[in-house]
């Protein structure tokens, strides 16, 4: 079935859900758990430059999530967030099995694949990408 309105609605819902999840996780690292506690946890996991990494990941997730919600530079934002999830998979979740309840990688896998989907298919018509492309 080739229904552009249905496709655009699905892309909008995907962007909205992903954006909210990434904003929430970035916010939690920065202001919930806090940068210092996040950096301490990451230092114990041997993540390089844990304080800098905690700040960078927090900002990337909050800003990237907001860009997904708005549909602004969607393929670029989704690509950066997919790389963020690859790093989370490797540094944090790889050795913990599949299930998120065990610290596993199921959530980061789904988030990464969803981001790759947005890289491939774009933001859809209900987006700033589309609105701004009319003026180019």
Q: Can you give the pLDDT at residue 2?
A: 83
As a whole number, mean pLDDT of residues 125-136 equals 83
Using the predicted structure, report yes or no on whether residue 136 has a pLDDT greater than 70: no
Segment 96-118 shows an average pLDDT of 96
Q: Are 13 and 69 in contact (CB under 8 A)?
A: no
Question: In 3-state terms, what secondary structure has residue 125?
Answer: coil
Q: Which residue ranges make up each domain of the chain?
A: 4-133
Segments of 75-116 assigned E as strands: none
Q: What is the pLDDT of residues 47-79, one digit of tens each?
A: 999 999 999 999 999 999 999 999 999 999 999
Cα 122 from Cα 74, distance rounded (Å): 6
For residues 121-126, give the mean pLDDT: 93
- Looking at residue 14, what is its pLDDT? 98
Confidence band for 135, pLDDT divided at 50, 70 and 90: low
Dihedral in degrees, nearest 10, Cα atoms 124, 19, 9, 11: 50
As a whole number of angstroms, the distance between CA 123 and CA 97 comes to 32
Measured CA to CA, the distance from residue 112 to residue 94 in angstroms comes to: 14
CB atoms within 10 A of CB 101: 9
Rounded to whole angstroms, how far apart are CA atoms 122 and 124?
6
Q: Model-level pTM?
A: 0.94
């Amino acid at each position: 079935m080739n229904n552009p309105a249905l496709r655009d609605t699905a892309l909008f819902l995907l962007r909205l859900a992903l954006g909210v999840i990434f904003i929430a996780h970035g916010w939690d690292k920065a202001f919930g758990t806090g940068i210092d506690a996040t950096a301490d946890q990451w230092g114990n996991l041997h993540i390089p430059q844990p304080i800098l990494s905690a700040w960078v990941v927090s900002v990337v997730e909050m800003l990237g999530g907001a860009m997904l919600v708005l549909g602004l530079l969607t393929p670029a934002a989704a690509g950066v967030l997919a790389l963020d999830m690859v790093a989370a998979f490797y540094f944090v979740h790889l050795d913990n099995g599949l299930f998120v309840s065990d610290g596993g990688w199921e959530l980061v896998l789904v988030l990464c694949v969803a981001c790759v989907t947005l890289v491939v298919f774009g933001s859809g018509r209900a987006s700033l990408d589309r609105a701004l492309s009319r003026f180019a």
